[in-house]
Structure 1
């Protein structure tokens, strides 16, 4: 083809489209031109053809095009590994879980399952190791609760991990009743059992990462924020990206252990085209459903119990000071109102006032009303998961009472206070599909449209806000807003084409909208 001397050569031309650029004006375009993996033009088709010569043309057929979706808080490697484990989601009782384990465990030396939620069982009480012992007396079993902060294990697993009724584990809980372990473990106590399991090889991890990538691309995700990245995993991600195998943008919240601290003390925060390693991840409490979230007052369904803080304030202050001095972003898990207050107290002592450091609170799930304005005062980014509200709504009032719900799952008020929220899924805790988070944020309902008026509907967000929360605002929270999150000239050509427009379809239809194709740097990574 002869190139017109006054035209710029670029490929491809995307046209016959409804392109949501998600720029500052939330403008739409009918065409987009990509060159060398970056957007060079958005606007009307005639103008694109006048300015650019494109051999490769993509007729979208009138479908909507969006910036590649970003999940700013997920667990990428665990998700990939769990694809090989027994899926316990949707089980209605412990008996159902055991049946699935028996059917699917085969001859594995360790039996691993995930996704059970006793709050949704016909008898919503935590399980006991007795049933596991009866069916699996010799093989170790670990069943991870859906929140990943609680697990039930059998006696064989406890024995291998060296856990007894007298075992004390910093940052974790070994549950004991009637003088014996129940098999229920919280937080760091789970790690003790996992450490007793034969380690996965680098090859196992590489395969799991690539399996996870296939699933993310299939739902339109082009960027993930991994909420607990170990150093060996980070280096493996970098290797796979350099080899061209892992094409997903990867924002790592690094585990602040000694090995990682020493590594980053030498190297400092670093980024590549696809990888961002500039933050450390901390935990202050556990999860709400398993009673580990740290509350200012007792749980309504467990008098005398308030959950537990994992770290002292002094320990968090020490870490925060190291992050400030090293130029690292600090991302801290906080679910209960006591945990959120502790984090805000620490951030306030270090940050003092508004700033550009983009420190985050992951979840920000239950707040005391007095703490809500402190987010904006310290420029703290709320990194939330709107599907947590709709997953918890069936049981959370029984746990917290009506009063504390007034400032729980307060996504609209956090957005209005801070000017943005970043909305992720926490997968595999929730479903990987970002459209479910979009729908939950907008509707405050489950996929069947219940409750009709929405759960705490005063904190619903608009469709534009929901789209920004998983594109440009998520990119900002990940320090990727210079190249991701919108379809503007100079930014990466990461985009997703849907079969229907989530900005205009009837609300109840949003969860069933399908991905047509997904592109990363202008390359098709999913679709026909």
Structure 2
């Protein structure tokens, strides 16, 4: 492959390539392989960076472990922010009370988000910074806060973060993305997520040389002026129609199996959804919503039907709106969404973490769990898929996401390796409005967005006759992919390049 400036100019065999480009700087891959750079279509940069640079709760296995980890991490004068606890994986799912947490941290404001980031354990000192949370929906005097009470304490937590803390976190996030072969991310910001200043700082930092691209989204209705002020792609991302299954806040038609008095929470109805879609369509912005539960998806579909009556199908499909997560969708709904050219921005690692007969999905939903994250159904109906991590909910690990999409817990719901790889590369570019047909592939004329991957361990793994070898149609513009079987080491990134500019480089030291 030959690159001039920011563009791929030639792809072919080595001998002719050297003859056609005499004097070019040559990088001998020495067994490594090149593939299009990944796009992560749903991230939360500052929250991920705080997770990377701070306390990680994904490994705790009970209330005592959590309290001990928090007690050791408290620093006087600083709000303590940590993420990742998941009681559904604990032997004893009992959570520490607020009194237990206060005893561990004293007067320190503490915010400990659940793995799905839709509820949090908080200290009294943090509640005191948002006293209105005590009168909000989702308030608990002892347990985790959810719904509006959670949003209010999270806003107070964000206000307590210093500018230097934020920059360190965002820098850590962008560096980690580049280290994982990611050339572009979609930041899903909003008033209940991060704040306008946080988004502005991230966009400014990403504009510096040597950074992955950040496509900005803001999850708020009526914020057209804000979107234009910051050059955002749309008023989309985490504009909440409902919550999350783990926190019992995703909106369901029938009650939760393990919480039979609850059907979750719905924050927007069809009329509000339609009004937002119409506003964005007419403003030339992408609309989008966070939606997970089947009742939430039903409301979204109704909203799009109303929007179509207002603006017409041609305008609606031309706007290329999107939905985040879209976990409980049936074939009839998938067909309708495809007809409106709606993108499904989805996270395959959700199934890897919570799918299966013994997973959190089954605990929450019983037999309904098998129908979650139906990638194959959506793809078969023509829905464009764009894969991401929802980091810090799952890790910035695109090869793990591709593998999860292939090895879905429910037979028939997964994708081929080629389709999954496309969804994490070209699909992400298309979801952000890049529809030139070549971005995200390695062909002459395409932007030079690519990553070089260490294949040494993969060669050893592939020598095992039991390992499935992937092959692709050359017309797909997708390279032959590495083995993705469970237990096989995933590729390690050696270099990440966006528009011909190196973002991350470990190739020289690894060679």
| Residue of structure 2 in register with 1:222 after alignment | 183
TM-score, normalized by length of structure 1? 0.83
Q: Deviations over 1:304-330 (max 9, x none)?
A: 200010123322222222101101111
TM-aligned CA distance change 1:241 to 1:398, over 3 Å: closer
Contact kept in structure 1, 2:50 and 2:82, CA below 8 Å: no
Partner of 1:119: 88
Q: Secondary structure at the match of 2:236?
A: strand
Q: What is the rounded CA distance, in whole Å, between the counterparts of 1:255 and 1:350 in structure 2? A: 18
The one of 332, 335, 354 equivalent to 1:373 is 335
- What does 1:138-149 correspond to in 2, within 5 Å? 138-149=107-118
Q: Say whether 1:168 aligns with 2:136.
A: yes
Output the CA distance in 2 between the equivalents of 1:109 and 1:238: 25
Aligned to 2:70: 101
* Structure 1 pair 224–264 and aligned structure 2 pair: CA distance change class (3 A): closer
| Structure 2 CA distance for partners of 1:263 and 1:143, relative to 1, 3 Å | closer
Alignment of 1:455-474 (within 5 A): 455-474=409-428
What's the TM-score, normalizing by structure 2? 0.85
In structure 2, the residue matched to 1:492 is 447
For the residue of structure 2 that corresponds to 1:72, the secondary structure is strand
1:209 maps to 2:170: yes
* SS of alignment partner, residue 189 of structure 1: helix
**Cα deviation 1:129-183 (Å, max 9, x = unaligned):** 2321332342222211111111011223223311465x025xxx213xxxxx224
Contact 1:283 1:332 (8 Å CA) reproduced: yes
Cα distance, 1:54 vs. partner?
3.8
More strand as a share of residues: 1
**1:190 matched residue in structure 2:** 150
Unmatched segments (≥5 aa) in structure 1: 1-31, 176-180, 271-275, 445-454
Please give the secondary structure, in 2, of the residue aligned with 1:151: strand
Residue number among 402, 427, 432 corresponding to 1:438 in the alignment: 402
- The whole-number CA distance in structure 1 between the counterparts of 2:296 and 2:489 is 32
Supply the distance in 2 between the matched residues of 1:405 and 1:496 (Cα, whole angstroms): 35
Residue of structure 2 aligned with 1:91, choices 49, 60, 84 = 60
1:413 aligns with 2:370: no
Aligned residues: 468
Give secondary structure in 1 for the equivalent of 2:27: strand
Whether the 8 Å CA contact 1:293–1:335 is kept in 2: the answer is: yes
- The yes-or-no answer on 1:303 pairing with 2:260 is yes
CA distance in 2, matches of 1:227, 1:348: 25
Once the two structures are overlaid, the 10-residue window that deviates more, 327-336 or 154-163, is 154-163
Q: Contact conserved, 1:381 with 1:418, CA < 8 A, in 2?
A: no
Distance 1:491 1:219 in 2: 21
In the alignment, is the contact (CA less than 8 A) between 2:406 and 2:415 conserved in 1?
yes
Give the Å deviation of 1:248. Answer: 0.7
Secondary structure class of the residue paired with 1:56:
coil
Separation (CA, whole Å) in 1 of partners of 2:160 and 2:361: 36
Among 397, 402, 419, the alignment partner of 2:362 is 397
Distance 2:298 2:96 in 1: 31
Alpha-carbon offset, residue 497 of structure 1: 1.1
Q: Are residues 104 and 164 of structure 1, via their aligned partners in 2, closer, same or farther at CA, if it must alter by over 3 Å?
A: closer
Paired residues of 2:484 and 2:490 also in contact (CA < 8 A): no
Between the aligned partners of 1:237 and 1:315, the Cα distance in structure 2 is 29
The answer as to 2:57 corresponding to 1:70 is no
Unaligned runs of 5+ in 2: 459-469, 471-480
Residues 144, 506 of structure 1: alpha-carbon distance in 2 compared, 3 angstrom cutoff: closer
2:462 match? none
**Pairing partner for 2:494 from 497, 505, 516:** 516
Shift of 1:75: 1.1
